[in-house]
Amino acid sequence: MQLTYTLKRKRSEKPQTVTAEAVTLAFDAQDVLAFVELSGPTSAIRAIWAELMRGRSRTASDVPDHTKIKFTYKGHDTVLKLAAKTRYLTRNLGGNIIVMHPGFDVTKRTHMMGGDLETPSPYFLDSFRHVCTTIPVLSEWNAKLWKLGLERKAIKPLISFGSYNFWYIVPGNRNDTWKEIVKEVVTTTSIKGE
């Protein structure tokens, strides 16, 4: 999977195309970037990283910021956007750079990776407890909560390329769906006393 960026430092300069590989990439249905791991020549990944970081923390706009970063997969091009009013997180992993939505941070937990349509993400229950409800839930409810969350669109799959699936969990304070899901799980599950 390739990410390309056309770099033009000076008006008189000929544009230069910088290319790096996306080892892993995830974005939502509106092409807003959630996660990318960049690999390739250091100068290329730093140029693409700089374009991704450009201006995001300075803007107060509610509109996603279009970058000049183009993602190409099987001949199809997608111009990635950055979430509005969002400062993305950066991590180094060996020679690679990871850029991710702050929802992956342990203080937010709205974004997670791993799992599939049948098996919950290993981060799901912690994320759920953090962002969805103050109601205590049992670990045994993990699979039921996951399944109902997906069915009712309270967990949204992100478009993912690479080794992992990525997900967005709709916070409980924005969504009464989670209260209904917990209520359904509680009423349909027997709790064994000791």
150 located within any domain: yes
Q: What is the pTM of this model?
A: 0.82
* Tens-place pLDDT, residues 133-171: 777 888 999 999 999 999 999 999 999 998 899 999 988
Q: H-helix or E-strand containing 38?
A: strand 33-39
Q: Of 85, 102, 119, which residue is a domain's last?
A: 102
User: Does residue 132 surpass a pLDDT of 90?
Assistant: no
Mark whether 75 and 5 lie in a shared domain. Answer: yes
Mark whether 3 and 71 lie in a shared domain. Answer: yes
Cα-to-chain-centroid distance, residue 5: 21
pLDDT, mean over the chain: 83
Mark whether 87 and 119 lie in a shared domain. Answer: no
User: Does residue 57 surpass a pLDDT of 60?
Assistant: no
70 located within any domain: yes
Mark whether 60 and 146 lie in a shared domain. Answer: no
Residue 60: band (very low, low, confident or very high) from pLDDT cuts 50, 70, 90 = low
Q: What is the pLDDT of residue 114?
A: 95
Contact of 169 with 128, CB cutoff 8 Å: yes
Mark whether 47 and 97 lie in a shared domain. Answer: yes
Mark whether 62 and 89 lie in a shared domain. Answer: yes
Indicate the SS3 state at residue 187.
helix
Mark whether 146 and 54 lie in a shared domain. Answer: no
- Domain that residue 35 falls in: 1-102
Q: Is 194 exposed, middle or buried (0-12, 13-18, 19+ CB in 10 A)?
A: exposed
Q: Of 83, 102, 121, which residue is a domain's last?
A: 102
Mark whether 46 and 138 lie in a shared domain. Answer: no
Mark whether 93 and 112 lie in a shared domain. Answer: no
Q: Of 47, 80, 102, which residue is a domain's last?
A: 102
Domain count, the chain: 2
22 located within any domain: yes
Mark whether 10 and 86 lie in a shared domain. Answer: yes
Contact of 33 with 52, CB cutoff 8 Å: yes
Q: Is 34 exposed, middle or buried (0-12, 13-18, 19+ CB in 10 A)?
A: buried
Mark whether 17 and 93 lie in a shared domain. Answer: yes
194 located within any domain: no
